[in-house]
Amino acid sequence: MADIDPGLARSLILDELFDLTLYRRLREIQKGEARAVLDRLIPVEVKHFNFWQGFFKRTISRLDFPRRIKLEAAVLVCRLFGPAAVHLILEAIEIHGVQKYLAVWEAYKDGPLGPAVRDVLEDEFRHEDELVSALAARKINPERIRSLFLGFNDGLVEILGAVSGFFAAFENRSTILMAGVTVSVAGAISMAAGAYVASASEREIEKIERGKAAFLGGAAAPETEGHPLGLGLLVGVSYFLGAVIPLLPVAMGFKGLAFSLLAAVMMIVAVSALLSFLSGMELRRRILTNLVVMAAAVGVSYAIGEIVKSAWGVRI
């Protein structure tokens, strides 16, 4: 076992301990269907946790500090938002589980412990996947969740870029706020209309495909949940809420771009952490990507504002 990566060993054991502890904590505050699912998941996690400790010959009984913070945050969210949050978190944990187990399989599939790893993978991919996915499919609409956070993220980054240009070109705070709100409303309407048209077109194509399948006697794909109008409104509202973030410091009387930047960075980190948890993407990479995009938007917009002010003598 000398060729085992100590970091991978510790991470896998801690991840299983986190999942097991979270399931037990959530079971205490849930009832009905969600609690029944957790009752079936907990023995699977106990088995996996014990297996990995034996596999790596390491005993870990306490979560590290970042995972303890993550645990308390997850429990708090589930207390506040109930079963829907539980299902969302279970689905996110499933995504992370798939990623980590595939990494282990690639590392050990050809070794003497390959069969044992396969057993754990089968538990994860069949037993746990069936339990969580079947429940989450009835409670969570991934398209809505994706649209909500992407709309919010787009609104935040785009309006921060616009506000940066306004700070460079204009001198009056009221003008900056008025221009920012105007662009935010226009952007929200545009995003909502775009999402509605795209969703309606997608539904029309699905309808044609289902008709073809029915005519040919084949199995038709299930109809996408949600109405295009609802999806459009969701994207538009989430965009506007994101756009409000960089405008709030201006509305509160703060002068200078730094306050809008600070508010946007704090929210970007929070949203990136949430999207990372839901999608399985590495947190640092998600935050870095968003910060790079935000920095580019701010830099280019501010430069354009300076050019406009110098070239046309804008003084408002």
> pLDDT by residue (tens digit) across 128-169?
666 655 555 555 555 676 677 778 888 998 899 899 888 888
Q: What is the pTM of this model?
A: 0.67
Please indicate, yes or no, if residue 1 is contained in any of the structural domains: no
Determine, yes or no, domain membership for 127.
yes
CA distance 239 to 294: 15
| Residue in 249, 236, 174 with CA at minimum distance from that of residue 199 | 236
Considering the domain architecture, whether residues 191 and 245 belong to the same structural domain is answered as: yes
Whether 11 contacts 100, CB under 8 Å: yes
Residues 100 and 226 in one domain: no
Query: Residue 63 has what pLDDT?
Result: 93
Q: Which domain holds residue 188?
A: 142-312
114 and 10, same structural domain?
Answer: yes
Same domain, 114 and 214: no
Q: What is the pLDDT of residue 23?
A: 92
Residues 283, 209 share a domain = yes
Q: Is residue 70 a part of any domain in this protein?
A: yes
Report the number of distinct structural domains present in the chain: 2
Query: How high is the pLDDT of residue 138?
Result: 52
Task: Single out the residue in 139, 158, 191 at which a domain terminates.
Answer: 139
CATH of the domain at 23: 1.20.1260
Report the mean per-residue pLDDT for the chain. Answer: 81
Indicate if 206 and 247 belong to the same structural domain. Answer: yes
Confidence at residue 2, expressed as pLDDT on a 0 to 100 scale: 47
Tell me, yes or no, whether 94 and 176 share the same domain: no
167 and 258 belong to one structural domain: yes
The residue ranges of the chain whose pLDDT is under 50 are 1-2
Task: Give a yes or no: residue 124 inside a domain.
Answer: yes
Q: Are residues 159 and 225 in the same domain?
A: yes
Same domain, 30 and 65: yes
Which of 70, 104, 139 is the endpoint of a domain? 139
With respect to residue 102, please indicate whether it lies within any of the assigned structural domains. yes
Rounded to 10°, the helix 283-312/257-279 angle is 150
Distance CA 119, CA 175 (A): 64
Contact 279, 273 (CB under 8 A): no
Is residue 186 in a domain?
Answer: yes
Q: Are residues 159 and 198 in the same domain?
A: yes
